[in-house]
Structure 1
Amino acid sequence: MTQAAPSQQTALALLQSVFGYPAFRGAQAEIIDHVVNGGDALVLMPTGGGKSLCYQLPAMLRQGVGIVVSPLIALMQDQVDALAEVGVRAAFLNSTQTFQQALAIEQKMRQGELDLVYVAPERLLTQRCLELLEICPISLFAIDEAHCVSQWGHDFRPEYIKLSVLHERFPAIPRIALTATADQATRAEIISRLQLENALQFVSSFDRPNIRYRIVEKASGRQQLLDFLQAEHPQDAGIVYCLSRKKVEETAEFLNQHGVTALPYHAGLELAVRTKNQARFLREDSIVMVATIAFGMGIDKPDVRFVAHLDLPKSIEGYYQETGRAGRDGGPANAWMAYGLQDVVQQRRMIEESEADENYKRLQSGKLDSMLSLCETIRCRRRHLLSYFGQNDASTHTNCGNCDVCLNPPKAFDASVATQQLLSAIYRVDQRFAAGHVIDVLRGMDSERIQQWRHDKLSTYGIGSERSEAEWRAILRQAIAQGYVSVDYESYNALKLTETARAVLKGEQSVQMRQYEKPQKAAKQKRAVSKGYDETDLSAQGQHIFEKLRGWRMETARLHNVPAYVIFHDSTLRDIAKANPSSLEDLRGVSGVGEKKLATYGEEIVKLVASLN
Structure 2
Amino acid sequence: MKATPEALLQQVFGHAAFRGEQAAIVHHVAEGNDALVLMPTGGGKSLCYQLPALLRDGVAIVVSPLIALMQDQVDALRQLDVRAACLNSTLDADAARTVEQQLLAGELDLLYVAPERLLTPRFLSLLDRAPVALFAIDEAHCVSQWGHDFRPEYRELTILHERWPGVPRIALTATADPPTQREIAERLQLQDAQRFVNSFDRPNIRYTVVQKENARRQLLDFLQAHRGQAGIVYCLSRRKVEETAEFLAGHGIDALPYHAGMAADARASNQRRFLRDDGVVIVATIAFGMGIDKPDVRFVAHMDLPKSIEGYYQETGRAGRDGEPSEAWMCYGLGDLVLLRQMIEQSDSGPERKRLEHRKLDALVGYCESMRCRRQVLLANFGEDYPQSCGNCDNCLQPPEAWDATEAARKALSCVYRTGQRFGAAHLIDVLRGGESERIHQFGHDRLGVHGVGADLDARTWRGVFRQLVAHGLLDVDTEGYGGLRLAEASRAVLKGEQTVMLRRVAGKRERERSASGRATAPAIELAPADLPLFEALREMRARLAREQNVPAYVVFHDSTLRAIARDRPDDRDALARVEGIGAAKLERYADVVLEVLRNADETEVTAP
TM-score in terms of structure 1 length: 0.95
Structure 2, unaligned runs of 5 or more:
603-609
Q: Which residue, out of 201, 209, 214, partners 1:215?
A: 209
CA contact (8 A) 1:233 1:529 kept: no
- Aligned pair in 2 of structure 1 residues 233, 524: CA closer, same or farther (>3 Å)? farther
- Aligned pair in 2 of structure 1 residues 145, 112: CA closer, same or farther (>3 Å)? same
Aligned partner of 2:326 in structure 1 is 333
Aligned positions of 1:580-599 closer than 5 A: 580-599=569-588
- Aligned pair in 2 of structure 1 residues 12, 141: CA closer, same or farther (>3 Å)? same
Aligned partner of 2:505 in structure 1 is 515
| 1:449 is aligned to 2:439 | yes
Task: Supply the distance in 1 between the matched residues of 2:367 and 2:145 (Cα, whole angstroms).
Answer: 23
Q: Which amino acid aligns with 2:253?
A: V
- What is the CA-CA distance between 1:435 and the residue it aligns to? 2.2
- What is the CA-CA distance between 1:524 and the residue it aligns to? 12
Aligned partner of 1:605 in structure 2 is 594
CA contact (8 A) 1:66 1:116 kept: yes
- What is the CA-CA distance between 1:386 and the residue it aligns to? 1.3
CA contact (8 A) 2:229 2:298 kept: yes
Q: Which amino acid aligns with 2:551?
A: V
Task: Supply the distance in 1 between the matched residues of 2:41 and 2:536 (Cα, whole angstroms).
Answer: 27
Task: Supply the distance in 1 between the matched residues of 2:189 and 2:275 (Cα, whole angstroms).
Answer: 35
Q: What percent of counterpart residues are identical?
A: 59
| 1:309 is aligned to 2:302 | yes
Q: Which amino acid aligns with 2:409?
A: T
Q: Which amino acid aligns with 2:163?
A: R
Aligned partner of 1:320 in structure 2 is 313
Q: Which residue, out of 261, 269, 274, partners 1:276?
A: 269
- What is the CA-CA distance between 1:168 and the residue it aligns to? 2.0
- What is the CA-CA distance between 1:356 and the residue it aligns to? 0.4
| 1:156 is aligned to 2:145 | no
1:162-218 C-alpha deviation (Å, 9 max, x unpaired): 222222222221111111111112112212221211111111111111111111111
Q: Which residue, out of 71, 76, 79, partners 1:82?
A: 76
1:566-612 C-alpha deviation (Å, 9 max, x unpaired): 11101111111222111111112211000111111112212221222
| 1:375 is aligned to 2:387 | no
Aligned partner of 1:483 in structure 2 is 473
Q: Which residue, out of 458, 469, 472, partners 2:462?
A: 472
Aligned partner of 2:542 in structure 1 is 553
Aligned partner of 2:553 in structure 1 is 564
Task: Supply the distance in 1 between the matched residues of 2:479 and 2:515 (Cα, whole angstroms).
Answer: 41
1:391-437 C-alpha deviation (Å, 9 max, x unpaired): 12xxx221111111111111111112211221122122232333233
Query: Which stretches of structure 1, 4 residues or longer, exceed 6 Å deviation after superposition?
Result: 523-528
Task: Supply the distance in 2 between the matched residues of 1:136 and 1:117 (Cα, whole angstroms).
Answer: 12
Aligned partner of 1:390 in structure 2 is 383
- What is the CA-CA distance between 1:126 and the residue it aligns to? 1.0
Aligned positions of 1:483-502 closer than 5 A: 483-502=473-492
Aligned partner of 2:357 in structure 1 is 364
Aligned partner of 1:128 in structure 2 is 122
Task: Supply the distance in 2 between the matched residues of 1:539 and 1:528 (Cα, whole angstroms).
Answer: 20
Q: Which amino acid aligns with 1:413?
A: W
Task: Supply the distance in 1 between the matched residues of 2:515 and 2:136 (Cα, whole angstroms).
Answer: 45
1:212-241 C-alpha deviation (Å, 9 max, x unpaired): 1111111111121112112x0111110000
- What is the CA-CA distance between 1:127 and the residue it aligns to? 1.0
Secondary structure of the residue aligned to 1:251 is helix
- What is the CA-CA distance between 1:506 and the residue it aligns to? 2.1
- Aligned pair in 2 of structure 1 residues 524, 348: CA closer, same or farther (>3 Å)? closer
Task: Supply the distance in 1 between the matched residues of 2:188 and 2:303 (Cα, whole angstroms).
Answer: 35
Aligned partner of 2:237 in structure 1 is 244
CA contact (8 A) 1:305 1:327 kept: yes
Q: Which residue, out of 266, 291, 297, partners 1:298?
A: 291
- Aligned pair in 2 of structure 1 residues 511, 129: CA closer, same or farther (>3 Å)? same
CA contact (8 A) 2:40 2:200 kept: yes
Q: Which residue, out of 55, 58, 67, partners 1:61?
A: 55
Aligned partner of 1:3 in structure 2 is none
Q: Which residue, out of 540, 543, 548, partners 2:532?
A: 543
Task: Supply the distance in 2 between the matched residues of 1:519 and 1:421 (Cα, whole angstroms).
Answer: 25
- What is the CA-CA distance between 1:529 and the residue it aligns to? 5.4
Task: Supply the distance in 1 between the matched residues of 2:102 and 2:523 (Cα, whole angstroms).
Answer: 41
Secondary structure of the residue aligned to 1:489 is coil
Q: Which amino acid aligns with 1:211?
A: I
CA contact (8 A) 1:305 1:529 kept: no
Q: Which amino acid aligns with 2:151?
A: R
Q: Which amino acid aligns with 1:156?
A: F
Q: Which amino acid aligns with 2:190?
A: L
Task: Supply the distance in 1 between the matched residues of 2:590 and 2:360 (Cα, whole angstroms).
Answer: 48
Q: Which residue, out of 162, 185, 188, partners 1:194?
A: 188
Q: Which amino acid aligns with 2:487?
A: L
**Range that drifts further, 382-391 or 502-511:** 502-511
Task: Supply the distance in 1 between the matched residues of 2:70 and 2:484 (Cα, whole angstroms).
Answer: 48
CA contact (8 A) 2:397 2:518 kept: no
Q: Which amino acid aligns with 2:254?
A: T
| 1:71 is aligned to 2:60 | no
- What is the CA-CA distance between 1:490 and the residue it aligns to? 2.3
Secondary structure of the residue aligned to 2:586 is helix
Q: Which amino acid aligns with 1:70?
A: S
